[in-house]
Copies of this chain bind each other. A is one copy, B any other.
Amino acid sequence: MSVTAPAGFEAAGVVAGLKSTGKPDVAVIVNRGPLKAGAAVYTSNRAKANPVLWSQEAIKGGVVEAVVLNSGGANCFTGAFGFQTTHQTAERAAELLGVGAIGVQVCSTGLIGTGDEAFRAKVLDGTEKAIAALSADGGEDAARAIMTTDTVPKMSVLRGDGWSIGGIAKGAGMLAPGLATMLVVITTDAVLDSAQADAHLREATRVSFDRLDSDGCMSTNDQVTLLVSGASGVVPDETAFADALAEVCRDLARQLQADAEGASHAITIEVVNAASEDDAVEVGRSVARNNLFKAAVFGNDPNWGRVLAAIGTTEADFDPYDVDVLMNGVRVCSGGGPDRPREEVDLTPRDTHVVIDLRVGTATATILTNDLTHDYVHENSAYSS
């Protein structure tokens, strides 16, 4: 059900011919109200695709009537023609739905530089087709239509006290920081205004998608959109809603990590006893981005020296010679020197847990990443994205 689990939403995913495989490639999610509030966060990359350039202006009204998403082409660096394509997509959807174009968010994913006349025609036709196919149980179809190299659709549902939250996500590569690179649509039938939606979405993404750093590469097309229908008629407890939204985001982030391109390990890097949360994030991210460490995990090699070499490049507050490192429960390094023998560490399970104890404070943060594998290199050398 995903995005159609909360009351007040319809969705569809259809084949528009953008993917050479003939798989679904255009999705539409519509907010039937009664509220039409919304919020979104976008890639912090300065190189933004046309759909992002459109959507970040359109969101300023705080109204989201619908989201149109396509895979099979990023419509990025496609110039004025590409921007017009996005605008026409929003206008076509708005016309068919009887709403204003400014209420339509547009998202694209695929190869940068793709956005010619054939692309435009297919996206517009696909938008029509998807709107004709809208249904109250179309959430999974929408989730499938936004897949690129994803092997499984990503969906999440969480029910609160009289309200619920649903979400879909795509993104198996280019997961990164700033905003952890992917397309996500989240819906809720709770009663919120757009300012509340915006505040909750920013906090939830900060502690979830922003802490997923699969390969350090930031996309041009990232977008996370929250649509609020208010159809439950229930004003949620603020804390309960915030917790639930963060949990849906973390659930989707973990699904993205689990399906990351070519990965053989899902690595959880937990930084503890940092002087500040920012320090903990910086330290965790430095390890998540260290190719040597990531290749070692692929080889089931508990190479804690590469952890210390990575965190030594940060400006976080700690003493590099008074740090503990645990890998899958074994303290391989303590006080800046070897502790338990590396042979005691079993890195064969897919889930890998690294704890870095900075021993200077009480703050903590967890970063999710993946190992660097032959399959990652293969997928990203053979697949143009």
Contacts and interface: CB of A to CB of B under 8 A. Distances in A.
Interface in A268-293: 289-292
A129 interface: no
Given A292-B173, A305-B77, A46 B312 contact: yes
A96 interface: no
A311 interface: yes
A42 interface: no
Given A77-B336, A113-B304, A376-B295, A309 B219 contact: yes
A218 B309 contact: yes
A217 interface: yes
A240 interface: no
A47 interface: yes
Interface residues of A, number: 60
A348 interface: no
Contacts of A111: 305
A298 interface: yes
Given A216-B289, A305-B112, A311 B47 contact: yes
Interface in A212-251: 215-220
A160 interface: no
A310 interface: yes
> What are the 4 tightest A-B residue pairs by CB atom distance, in nearest-first order?
A112-B305, A47-B312, A299-B381, A295-B380
B305 A45 contact: no
A377 B298 contact: yes
Interface of A: 44-48, 74, 76-79, 111-113, 173-174, 178, 215-220, 289-292, 295-296, 298-299, 301, 303-306, 308-314, 320-321, 333, 335-338, 372-374, 376-378, 380-382, 384-385
B45 A313 contact: yes
A218 B305 CA distance: 12
B320 A47 contact: yes
5 contacts: A45-B309, A77-B333, A113-B305, A174-B292, A305-B385
A314 B44 CA distance: 10
Contact of A112 (B306, B311, B313): B306
Contacts of A298: 377, 381
Contacts of A299: 380-382
Nearest to A297: B381
A29 B48 CA distance: 53
Given A218-B309, A312-B46, A384 B295 contact: no
A176 to B, nearest CB: 8
